[in-house]
A and B are shown apart, each in its own frame.
Chain A
Amino acid sequence: DTGVSQNPRHKITKRGQNVTFRCDPISEHNRLYWYRQTLGQGPEFLTYFQNEAQLEKSRLLSDRFSAERPKGSFSTLEIQRTEQGDSAMYLCASSFASGIYNEQFFGPGTRLTVL
């Protein structure tokens, strides 16, 4: 399977703990995006990378959230001091950078539950 993969698929944690998610994009894609999706809502943009550079961050991305893509391949999203409001599905997507209207390919998501 050469699609976007995310690990873990599910994460249950206690409030105040730190969690880290990983995304492996399609290998030919140099753009990588993170979204958050809650029940009854569409994906909400968090941040995106072109290669290893983080080019845009949403105001939703509080100081407790940090994302990296150190070698321009996989990416990690870390949430520090988790809160119950962080419970959501975290989606990763990737796309080509050439052309400005390329569709995004999504991974299966990581479902986070904060108790």
Chain B
Amino acid sequence: AQSVAQPEDQVNVAEGNPLTVKCTYSVSGNPYLFWYVQYPNRGLQFLLKYITGDNLVKGSYGFEAEFNKSQTSFHLKKPSALVSDSALYFCAVRDGGGGSYIPTFGRGTSLIVHP
């Protein structure tokens, strides 16, 4: 079985400050991890993924995420937040050990960046 937890329903940050959106996961095999962003009335947009290799993954719009195997975490980060980053962020995981190709999504974290 695979699962994802996003422990914060909402994250508030001031523009220009660094931001972190948390994600922890559980899988039987190797984790394939994804971050997506959803703007109002829009579908999900892919930001970045971790499959293997360097634990720090860089993605779209200046976002990056750090894979931590011992803590089973994949937190999303950005050094300097923009008001336009305000959106809903989803972490997803699928088990790279085979079987289903279907990822499990977290409940989402609403990021609010204040001017």
Contacts and interface: CB of A to CB of B under 8 A. Distances in A.
A56 B102 contact: yes
Contacts of A45: 102, 104
B45 A31 contact: no
A109 B51 CA distance: 27
A42 B101 contact: no
Interface extent on A, as a size class? Answer: 20 to 34
Contacts, number: 55
B105 A43 contact: yes
B107 interface: yes
A60 B51 CA distance: 28
B108 A41 contact: yes
A43 B45 contact: no
B45 A106 contact: yes
Interface string B77-115: 000000000000010101010001111111110000000
Interface in B11-58: 32, 34, 36, 41-46, 49, 51
A66 B108 CA distance: 27
A110 to B, nearest CB: 10
Contact of A108 (B32, B43, B94, B107): B43
B44 A41 contact: no
Contact of B46 (A40, A44, A104, A108): A104
Given A33-B102, A41-B108, A42-B107, A100 B43 contact: no
A1 to B, nearest CB: 12
Given A42-B90, A43-B44, A106-B43, A101 B102 contact: no
B105 A107 contact: no
B32 to A, nearest CB: 5
A67 interface: no
Given A45-B102, A104-B44, A106-B36, 6 more contacts: A40-B9, A43-B44, A101-B32, A106-B45, A108-B42, A109-B43
- A-B pairs with lowest CB-CB distance, top 5: A42-B105, A106-B43, A106-B44, A103-B46, A108-B43
